[in-house]
């Protein structure tokens, strides 16, 4: 009887430990992704310029089409903000020619390449205006947009 009790206790302990490690691994996976404020950085250009980012979480706050391409604004959920006034919690996502399958209020993960760009305009714009940071998530550039949850409350406006 004593050996059954020890075996049962050992099996229960292994199952519990396995569950704990799975929970820790899942938590590490969700917290180790790059955040919008990491991409934006505290300077005028992104510290991750021209680098690939994976599964950047955010809530879609605005979708639009300009120059025959689709874009949307992505903002960090309030609970994940870094509260650093030098870093932005919002970013533009460049989706390309096809309308992305997202809606305002969707919590999504975006993978793509961080780019700096200047909006087209007058000839000197490239030399006189600061560029905007975006995630290039176009499918033909290995970008990916994955909806995690729908109908999420919008984050507080970025100030």
- Same-domain pairing of 55 and 105: yes
Strand 90-96 with 132-136, pairing: parallel
pTM of the full predicted structure?
A: 0.76
Residue 155 located in a structural domain: no
Residue 154 located in a structural domain: no
Burial track 109-147 (b if 16+ CB lie within 10 A, e otherwise): bbbbbbbeeeeeeeeeeeeeeebebbbbbbeeeebebee
Compute CA 134 distance to the chain's CA centroid, rounded to the nearest angstrom. Answer: 11
- Provide the pLDDT for residue 145: 98
- Same-domain pairing of 28 and 59: no
In this prediction, residues 33-39 reach a mean pLDDT of 94
- Report pLDDT digits (tens) over 58-82: 999 999 999 899 999 999 999 999 9
- Same-domain pairing of 17 and 43: no
Residue 70 located in a structural domain: yes
Residues in the chain: 159
CATH number for the domain including 116?
Answer: 2.40.50.140
The C-alpha angle with vertex 32 and arms to 28 and 36, in degrees rounded to 5, equals: 145
- Same-domain pairing of 20 and 42: no
Q: How far apart are CA 60 and CA 118, in angstroms?
A: 22
- Same-domain pairing of 112 and 142: yes
Beta bridge mates, 52: 113
Residue 98 located in a structural domain: yes
The secondary structure of 5-69 as a DSSP string is HHHHHHHHHHHHHHHHHHHHHHHHHHHSSPPHHHHH-SSSS-TTTT-EEEEEEEEEEEEEEETTE
Mean pLDDT in the chain?
83
Domain range enclosing 98 = 36-149
Residue 156 located in a structural domain: no
| pLDDT over threshold 80, residue 109 | yes
- Same-domain pairing of 63 and 131: yes
Total number of domains in the chain: 2
In this prediction, residues 125-135 reach a mean pLDDT of 84
């Amino acid at each position: 009887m004593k050996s059954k009790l020890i075996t049962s206790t050992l099996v229960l302990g292994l199952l519990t430990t396995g569950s704990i490690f799975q929970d820790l691994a899942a938590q590490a996976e969700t917290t180790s992704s790059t955040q919008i404020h990491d991409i934006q950085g505290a300077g005028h250009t992104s510290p991750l310029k021209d680098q690939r980012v994976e599964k950047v979480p955010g809530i879609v706050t605005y979708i639009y089409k300009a120059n025959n391409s689709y874009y949307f604004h992505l903002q960090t959920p309030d609970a994940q903000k870094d509260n650093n006034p030098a870093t932005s919690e919002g970013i533009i996502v460049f989706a390309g020619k096809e309308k992305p399958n997202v809606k305002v209020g969707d919590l999504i993960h975006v993978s793509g390449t961080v780019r700096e760009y200047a909006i087209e305009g007058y000839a000197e714009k490239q030399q006189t205006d600061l560029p905007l940071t975006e995630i290039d998530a176009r499918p033909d550039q290995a970008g990916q947009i994955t909806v995690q949850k729908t109908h999420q409350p919008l984050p507080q406006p970025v100030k």
